[in-house]
Amino acid sequence: MFHLFYMSLLLALFWLGLSGHYTALLLAFGALSAGLVAWLAWRMDMVDHESVPLHLSRRVLTFWPWLLVEIVKSNIDVVRRVLDPRLPIERSVIRVPTGDMSPLRETIYANAITLTPGTVSLDVSNGEVIVHALSRTAAEEVRTGEMARRVTGLEQEG
Amino acid sequence: MALLLDVLSWICLVGGGFFCVVGGIGVLRLPDFFSRLHASGVIDTLGAGLVLFGLLLQAESLDVALRLVLIFFFLLFTVPTATHALAKSALQGGLEPEVDDDGGASSNS
């Protein structure tokens, strides 16, 4: 119930932010559509801690800036390789364990790997992510497990 | 102040354009499907990100700024989803990733 309320609130705020019109009629439409979407999601049984990950909200604030810095660094590495006349790439496919991550954390982890240029997650199964890496440094970066540690930290209580 | 903003925003826009072009070059130069995904990743993240940030500095109202931030936010969710969908369906379609380097790849740590 709490998740449903929180989801409706977020949807309403989102609508307000996008609309920019604050007349009674349009506000009513906004409330109606936010309510409708929340109801549909509830009927599809999709309102739970995975679709409304409240428990992540605070930790994400430190995870995203870190991820952005990583993205910039790996972007520069990929750009350097692409522009190098010799095209120095060492393609490899590696498997990294996700340990005992919950499905939500596994998803965040695999997405973060894909979002970083130089590494793309091909598949997630049986407690490991299969990663395609463009270069040895990119593969090493994933294998150090720094990102996995940070994603694991995301879901700790508090 | 306005001049400084203009200069900053131009640097971001031109930088974003640069990364988009390099991403395009990468898609052409890299040898196989999976490595090309990495080049398109450059366009999706730093290319689009810098262009959006450059536009954000030019935003005239809070409305516009909010929308630009939201676009960036959604990119962070949709880009990896799309890339992963491409990679996974290529894999399931029977395309094997080419590998040049086994250097330590098999030694799990």
Which parts of A1-56 fold into alpha helices (H)?
2-19, 24-43
Q: What is the pLDDT of residues B25-72, one digit of tens each?
A: 999 999 899 999 999 989 988 999 999 999 999 988 888 898 899 999
DSSP B69: H
Q: Which residue has the tokens 């799309």?
A: B82
Q: Is ipTM beyond 0.85? A: no
**Which tokens belong to A133?**
């890496």
Would you place residue B8 in the very low, low, confident or very high pLDDT band (cuts 50, 70, 90)?
very high
> Is the Cβ pair B108, A95 closer than 8 Å?
yes
- According to DSSP, the residues that pair with A94 across neighbouring strands are A131
Q: pTM of this prediction?
A: 0.82
Interface contact A122-B102, CB threshold 8 A? no
Among A17, A91, A110, select the one facing B35 at the smallest CB separation. A91
Q: How many Å separate Cα A108 from the centre of its chain?
A: 4
| Closest-CA residue to A154 (of A55, A65, A70, A69) | A55
Low-confidence residues in chain A, pLDDT < 50? 157-158
Question: From the CA of B33, how many Å to the nearest CA of chain A?
Answer: 11
The SS3 assignment for A140 reads: helix
- B7 and A CB contact within 8 Å: no
